[in-house]
Structure 1
Amino acid sequence: MKKPPFGVLLVNLGTPTAPTPKAVREYLAEFLGDRRVVDAPRWLWWLVLHGVILRIRPRRVAKAYASVWREDGSPLMCISKDQQKALAKHLSNEYGQDIPVALAMTYGEPTMEQAGQQLRQAGAERLVILPLYPQNSSSTTAAVHDRYANALGPCPHIPASRWITDYHVYPLYIQALANSVREYWQAHGRGDRLMMSFHGIPERYEKKGDPYPRQCRATAAALAEELGLQDGEWICSFQSRFGREEWVKPYTDHTLIAWGKEGVGRVDVISPAFAADCLETLEELEVENRETFIHAGGKDYHYIPCLNDRPDHIAMMAALVNENAAGWTSN
């Protein structure tokens, strides 16, 4: 069998294996135990995590997962697998031979080691690594780098690798986002304002140099320009706060409350930081924040799905891979 010129490693955050307190507890222990995610002193954070958080949160979070769980599993996992298959098909058609694409999760399964074994068995000796985070953050993209480096520890042969660290204003990404908004508006009408809600990070992370908030704002501005929106018709906001410290602002929920009180009739919400719909979009954005807006006086709330496995999203991934695999078209 002819060796592939390269392989692709797709990486997303991860998900519990089931919507149960036990599975959620195992997942949160790994996720929140990562220094990249929570950078508090280890001894203190261990006490808080294992003494308080993992005793309280799993049951509540499991209920949230159960409300969005599909028959075939976690939405994030199912959509990520669809993306993996679609990208492999797209690239293989382009190159006229199989281009292996493996999926790994930073936390949980499939692990980086499992994905690496799959790529080695397919004969890939050079890798393009695509973390599915359009905006680069120490808590996401850097965590993937750490996990990948750890997985290589026992490997006798280190593959050549090229990293896609972000694609926050990549033209095909912005176009795909704009296409999804236009198509939604065509089917469901257009709201008074478009909210672009990104997952938040603590404010001090930005002060330390994390590029994520700046890149989120750049994505939002580029999308607004592509859609021809004027000032006052859109906003970049941040969701999913955790803990007591200040996070980057403006906050999504606070903004929705203010808009509801102002009498904004309809708001459309999109979450460009997520490559696949997951708990934070399907439960927090689509359900919780809808209730927040309506309770504050708003009348109509529409959530625009993530890009998921849309053809233009897969084509964008392929274009990114091709650019980063330049010179690897043959053995």
Structure 2
Amino acid sequence: MSVKQALVLVNMGGPASTEEIAPYMRAIFADPFILPLPWLLRGFVSNKIVKKRTQPVIEKYNLIGGKSPLLKWTEKQVKLMRRNDSPLFEHITHAYRYTSPTLDQTFASLKKGGYQSVTILPMFPHSSRAMTGSIEHEAKRLAKRHSITTYTIDAWGLHKEIIALQSEYLKSAMDEAGTGARVLFVAHGIPMREVKRGDNYPDK
């Protein structure tokens, strides 16, 4: 009997409306991988941040339609991947770390569907404790609860096929832009305390 396998694309998530911004921020700062403080102190600091930042964040979201575009693009990626019949995965879906559908909801649904193996694909090409570490930790916790085997594809941006494809698109864009075009590489930073704790994100 073959094992039913599913692939889950996992992203941070985002608010689908301005009403969801405060709960979204609260969920982020409740994560010890994001805000590594003792539980009570983390809750206190989280509430302070959310109270102070919600309105300014709402104003910025209103400039882009009042919701996160990440939701639309993640769903589009899943639909495109489903077009190609996978010889390995019977089902391809998505989950978010901080908004619905959450990893918890997705694992429960997969368990109900009889899936015994779940491969997690974080939608970040790098590895970082705060992002991919949080996702992998939560996935392992839920896999244990539902008796599902789980795997995580980590730091996939280092694969030579991905780099070659990115180079191809970049060269095409540079050729189209013409002489004088410049490429700006932008990356998230992480607190130095995380680097000292062994997070190798800067090396990526």
Change (3 A) 1:104 1:191: farther
5+ residue gaps in structure 1? 216-331
Tell me, yes or no, if structure 1 residue 186 matches structure 2 residue 183. no
* Structure 1 range deviating more: 75-84 or 173-182: 173-182
Rounded to whole Å, the distance in 1 between the matches of 2:171 and 2:190 is 29
Q: Give the secondary structure class of the aligned counterpart of 1:64.
A: helix
Which position in structure 2 is the counterpart of 1:108?
99
With a CA cutoff of 8 Å and minimum separation of 6, indicate the structure with the bigger relative contact order. 2
Q: Report if the CA contact (8 A) 1:13-1:106 is conserved.
A: yes
Q: Report if the CA contact (8 A) 2:4-2:89 is conserved.
A: no
TM-score normalised according to structure 1 size: 0.56
Residue 4 (structure 1) shift:
7.0
Residue 174 (structure 1) shift:
1.0
Rounded to whole Å, the distance in 2 between the matches of 1:49 and 1:162 is 31
Superposed counterparts of 1:18-33, under 5 Å? 18=17, 20=18, 22-33=19-30
Tell me, yes or no, if structure 1 residue 124 matches structure 2 residue 118. no
Q: Give the secondary structure class of the aligned counterpart of 2:125.
A: coil
Which position in structure 1 is the counterpart of 2:11?
12
Superposed counterparts of 1:1-331, under 5 Å? 5-18=4-17, 20=18, 22-50=19-47, 52-69=48-65, 74-90=68-84, 92=85, 94-95=86-87, 99-152=90-143, 154-155=145-146, 158-189=147-178, 191=180, 193-215=182-204
Rounded to whole Å, the distance in 2 between the matches of 1:154 and 1:124 is 14
Residues 25-84 of structure 1: CA deviation (Å, up to 9, x unaligned): 11000101111011134433332321x3111211111122222238xx531011000111
TM-score normalised according to structure 2 size: 0.87
Q: Give the secondary structure class of the aligned counterpart of 1:84.
A: helix
Residues 100-152 of structure 1: CA deviation (Å, up to 9, x unaligned): 01201011111112222443354432222111111111101111022223334
Count of matched residue pairs: 204
% identity of equivalent residues = 24
Residue 192 (structure 1) shift:
5.3
Rounded to whole Å, the distance in 2 between the matches of 1:98 and 1:163 is 14
5+ residue gaps in structure 2? none
Rounded to whole Å, the distance in 2 between the matches of 1:88 and 1:135 is 24
Q: Give the secondary structure class of the aligned counterpart of 2:9.
A: strand
Residue 182 (structure 1) shift:
1.9
Rounded to whole Å, the distance in 1 between the matches of 2:154 and 2:143 is 19
